[in-house]
Amino acid sequence: MKLSSLLTPERILIDVREKDKNAILTYLVNEIGKIGGINDVEALNKEVMDREALGNTGIGRGIGFPHAKSDHVNSLQVLLALPAKPIDYGSLDGVPVSIILFIVAPKDGDNNEYLHTMARISRLLGKSNVREQIIKAKTPNEIVNIVADNEA
Amino acid sequence: MKSLNKILLNLDAAVESQHALDFAVFLAKNCSATIIAVNIVNKNVVTNLARFSDNSIAEIEVELEENGWRYLYDAEEKAKSQEARIVIIQEYGYPEQALPKLAAEYKVDMIIIGQNPQIRKDVVQGKIAEQLIEHAPCAVLVVN
């Protein structure tokens, strides 16, 4: 499945104003919970936080890539968020994060689909011109189009 | 000896890569270090596969990327199960060039790679460990 078909406009959050990394991650878990596909938002939030404690998901170049496979997720969910200001994420390269791509999947679900999606995200955000376009985007629909145009 | 805070671990399809992972997890756990596990989509491998495949370069790259994420995901699960800290990333390029660059960028204390001793005798493949040792800004551990 293409990333552009997973990243629908309601899964793209622009101008997120939570004050720090943990607050943003909790916000993202809650937003995914509202969309659906999550059976226990609080438990998922704890898993995401526990995952961060075992290794930061700030992968450098201004990208946060929180991800988890969980018993509290019913189906693969992807959400993209742009903080209002780059946030201190404790990333590998120390660069504050401007784009967060959040992916969660069922623990016993299709591992291929999960890895396929992670690969597509990595490929897309590996392109500096795409990152710049996404950061400058003003609307979710604009980002949907950027993703669709740049997806292999 | 200074403390060991960050370990850059190269993960690929080689069996020795799994031995390197075991070593990295052991060190990370005992030294409270963080493993930065990287899979490099090797441009040489892409070019070589393209010569013998009906698939396009883009299709080969996608396949290698997905395989790479599988190694990274498995490594993450193993590290998590042993409560070792880990970060996973994927890069594109040539391992002998990308690894020293990443080591400098992330200020790592050690690079760990797995490589078959027979491969090290190969003129092309063998140069990865050799060049890495020559150019790395930190200690390099090659695991058989």
pLDDT digit string (tens) for B66-83? 899 999 999 999 999 999
pLDDT digit string (tens) for A32-68? 999 988 999 999 999 999 888 888 899 888 999 999 8
Q: What is the pLDDT of residue A104?
A: 93
Q: Alpha-carbon distance B77 to B60, whole Å? A: 26
User: Using the beta-carbon criterion (under 8 Å), do A92 and B65 form an inter-chain contact?
Assistant: no
**Complex confidence, ipTM:** 0.79
The alpha carbon of residue B118 is apart from the nearest alpha carbon of chain A, in Å, by: 31
Domain with residue A106: its CATH number is 3.40.930.10
Q: What is the pLDDT of residue A112?
A: 86
Task: Locate B135 and state its tokens.
Answer: 């150019």
Please indicate, yes or no, if residue A132 is contained in any of the structural domains.
yes
Please indicate, yes or no, if residue A94 is contained in any of the structural domains.
yes
Task: Locate A9 and state its tokens.
Answer: 């406009």
Task: Please compute Rg for chain B using Cα positions.
Answer: 15
Domains of chain B (ranges, CATH numbers): 6-143 (3.40.50.620)
Least confident of A29-33, B1-5, B95-99, B106-110: B1-5
Q: Does the structure show a pLDDT above 70 at B50? A: yes
Please indicate, yes or no, if residue A152 is contained in any of the structural domains.
no
Closest A-chain CA to B79: A54
Please indicate, yes or no, if residue A50 is contained in any of the structural domains.
yes
Please indicate, yes or no, if residue A151 is contained in any of the structural domains.
no
Please indicate, yes or no, if residue A40 is contained in any of the structural domains.
yes
Number of domains comprising chain A = 1
Q: How does residue B90 score in pLDDT terms, banded at 50, 70 and 90?
A: very high
**What phi and psi values does residue B85 have, to the nearest 5 degrees?**
-80, 135
The answer to whether the beta carbons of residues A61 and A97 sit under 8 Å apart is no
Across chain A, what does the average pLDDT equal?
92
Please indicate, yes or no, if residue A65 is contained in any of the structural domains.
yes
User: Using the beta-carbon criterion (under 8 Å), do B89 and A123 form an inter-chain contact?
Assistant: no
Q: What is the pLDDT of residue B122?
A: 64
Instruction: Tell me which of B73, B78, B83, B107 to substitute to probe the interface with A (most A C-beta atoms closer than 10 Å).
Output: B73
Size of interface A-B (CB pairs under 8 A): 59
The verdict on B38 touching A (C-beta cutoff 8 Å) is no
Please indicate, yes or no, if residue A8 is contained in any of the structural domains.
yes
Task: Locate B86 and state its tokens.
Answer: 């880990």
The alpha carbon of residue A59 is apart from the nearest alpha carbon of chain B, in Å, by: 6
Parent domain of A17: 3-146
User: Using the beta-carbon criterion (under 8 Å), do B69 and A119 form an inter-chain contact?
Assistant: yes
Question: B42, B40, B27: which is closest to B139 by C-alpha?
Answer: B27
Q: What is the pLDDT of residue A123?
A: 86
- Identify each DSSP E strand in chain B by its residue range: 6-10, 34-42, 85-93, 110-114, 139-143
pLDDT digit string (tens) for B2-28? 789 999 999 998 899 999 999 999 999
Neighbours of A118 (CB within 10 A): 25
Instruction: Tell me which of B89, B101, B107 to substitute to probe the interface with A (most A C-beta atoms closer than 10 Å).
Output: B89
Q: Does the structure show a pLDDT above 60 at B1? A: no
**Those residues with Cβ within 8 angstroms of residue A94's Cβ, 6 or more apart along the chain or in another chain:** none
Q: How does residue A152 score in pLDDT terms, banded at 50, 70 and 90?
A: low
Secondary structure (3-state) at A80: strand
User: Using the beta-carbon criterion (under 8 Å), do A57 and B73 form an inter-chain contact?
Assistant: no
